[in-house]
Amino acid sequence: MQTEISIQPANSIIFISDIEFMNEVPGDPSGNVITASKKAISVWTMPDIDGPTKVGIYNLDEIDDCEFDGEILSPSGEIVVSSSEKEIFLRKIVDQNWARIKIKLNDKKEPDYIRIAIG
């Protein structure tokens, strides 16, 4: 299953977290395209002034070679992809209190296609 949208997120960054942790910032994201903690992940996107970024949610088996493979806590069971202004773009329900996340980028500095596998 996949769901894809084109977005131009505020500040050219998206966050992946449980809906209860939407206010969490996973450390200083200035040095890396992907920054992660136990509660949230941030991913820089292509600058919003340069156009939209395509973001998709996939099943874990749909992404192999990826830039990130880890886990985040999910007490509510609802993982969201959101903006720095707390706008929810995508969501997926998981059936445990943590979620495995894989992230595949088409560019390691300014990706305009971000594939996120959640399981």
Sketch the domain layout of the chain as residue ranges: 3-118
Cβ–Cβ under 8 Å, residues 102 and 63: yes
The string of pLDDT tens digits covering residues 10-65 is: 999 999 999 999 988 998 877 799 999 999 999 999 998 999 999 999 999 999 99
CATH number 3.20.20.70 given to 3-118: no
pLDDT at 29: 73
Cβ within 8 Å of residue 65, ≥6 positions away: 104
